[in-house]
Amino acid sequence: MKTTTRLLIADDWDDYALLDSGNGLKQERFGTQTVIRPDPQAFWHPAKPTDRWTADAVFDAKAGDDDRGRWDRVKAGTPDVWRMGWKGLTFNVRRTPFRHLGVFQEHSVHWRFAQEKIRAAKRPVRVLNLFGYTGMMSLACAAAGAEVVHLDASPKSNGYGKENQALSGLENRPIRWIADDAMKFVAREIRRGNTYDGIVLDPPKFGRGPKNETWRFEEDFPALLAAVRKLLAPQPLFVITTAYAVRLSYLAVAQSLADHVGDLGGTMESGEMALPQQGSDRLLPTALYARWSANQ
């Protein structure tokens, strides 16, 4: 198996821009709105002093009664939900209590990668998207022609995904939206004998399933990779995994994945993901990743 290291930069956006970053904050444009959010990795000096930044809404990590923070200083008349687009997909973004906006824009590097692999296969392709959030990867794969099973523990996130499917004009594309615990679902799929040509994993550092099942990355990730291997079709196309806010190197993620897919040959690529800052050569790191792909 060939191995490579690469920095993936999400530079394929028209509707998103990282405007500035520094002093533990980032200023971003999501479509028609500009927001300011905390980012612990941005501890350099910003291009412009942060007290001169302007935004439609600012997230205060120290506000709120539940230690989650809250959106503060929201400009009057600014809608809580608005639309964005990426490469022919249309979707809603919204301010959530956890500072997120319903899309992880740095993942466009993987959406594009998956689409390229699906289209190049020139055959029916089944994709399993685990921890799928609001469904952008699922929509990207479906738009490229794949049959998709999307799983997330949150029925609300799945509901947003269905909204985005309709907004993107993909209602007739085969996407199954499932609210379940990832480990339990994967175990059932193995017993059923189901297989997938592509599998995507975007697990959190910590999470809970619909029935209060717990997920801890460092404890559960190796077992999930072992199970995922059993779900791969005889001639699989790709496996993509990302890791956020964990005390690991991308090498640890890649080598763990290689333990289970190394016999398949192909290419293992790993490294960091980053967002480019507008008008600058600065990059904001966002996550670790590893992705395996077959030789096509």
Instruction: List CB contacts of 82: < 8 A, sequence separation 6 or more.
Output: 30, 31, 32, 33, 92, 93, 94
Give residue 64's pLDDT: 61
Q: How many structural domains is the chain composed of?
A: 2
Asked whether residue 35 falls in the same domain as residue 179, the answer is no
The whole-number mean pLDDT for each consecutive block of 10 residues of the chain, a chain of 296 residues, reads 96 98 98 96 96 95 70 88 97 91 97 98 98 97 98 95 98 97 95 98 81 78 94 98 88 95 96 97 96 92
Asked whether residue 67 falls in the same domain as residue 30, the answer is yes
Task: Check: CB of residue 119 under 8 Å from CB of residue 112.
Answer: no
Give residue 211's pLDDT: 74
Task: Check: CB of residue 93 under 8 Å from CB of residue 71.
Answer: no
Give residue 27's pLDDT: 98
Give residue 56's pLDDT: 95
Asked whether residue 116 falls in the same domain as residue 87, the answer is no
pTM: predicted TM-score of the whole model, two decimal places: 0.94
> Residue 123 sits in which domain range?
2-9+105-293
Asked whether residue 69 falls in the same domain as residue 121, the answer is no
Q: Is residue 236 part of a domain?
A: yes
Give residue 288's pLDDT: 95
| The domain boundary residue, chosen from 46, 66, 94 | 94
Q: Is residue 121 part of a domain?
A: yes
| The domain boundary residue, chosen from 66, 94, 122 | 94
Asked whether residue 28 falls in the same domain as residue 114, the answer is no
Asked whether residue 160 falls in the same domain as residue 241, the answer is yes
The whole-angstrom separation of Cα 213 and Cα 82 is 32
Q: Is residue 195 part of a domain?
A: yes
| The domain boundary residue, chosen from 94, 129, 152 | 94
Task: Check: CB of residue 237 under 8 Å from CB of residue 117.
Answer: yes
Give residue 220's pLDDT: 86
Give residue 200's pLDDT: 98
Give residue 66's pLDDT: 56
Asked whether residue 179 falls in the same domain as residue 89, the answer is no
- Which CATH number does the domain housing residue 21 bear? 2.60.40.1180
Q: What is the Cα 36 distance to its own chain's centre?
A: 20
- Which CATH number does the domain housing residue 284 bear? 3.40.50.150
Asked whether residue 121 falls in the same domain as residue 265, the answer is yes
Give residue 246's pLDDT: 77
| Max CA separation in the chain (angstroms) | 58
Instruction: List CB contacts of 244: < 8 A, sequence separation 6 or more.
Output: 204, 205, 286, 287, 288
Asked whether residue 32 falls in the same domain as residue 161, the answer is no
Q: Is residue 221 part of a domain?
A: yes
Asked whether residue 83 falls in the same domain as residue 207, the answer is no
Q: Is residue 282 part of a domain?
A: yes
Asked whether residue 84 falls in the same domain as residue 168, the answer is no
Q: Is residue 99 part of a domain?
A: no
Asked whether residue 140 falls in the same domain as residue 238, the answer is yes
Q: Is residue 100 part of a domain?
A: no
Give residue 36's pLDDT: 97
Range 33-46 burial, b when 16+ CB lie within 10 A, else e: bbbbbbbeebeeeb
Q: Is residue 36 part of a domain?
A: yes
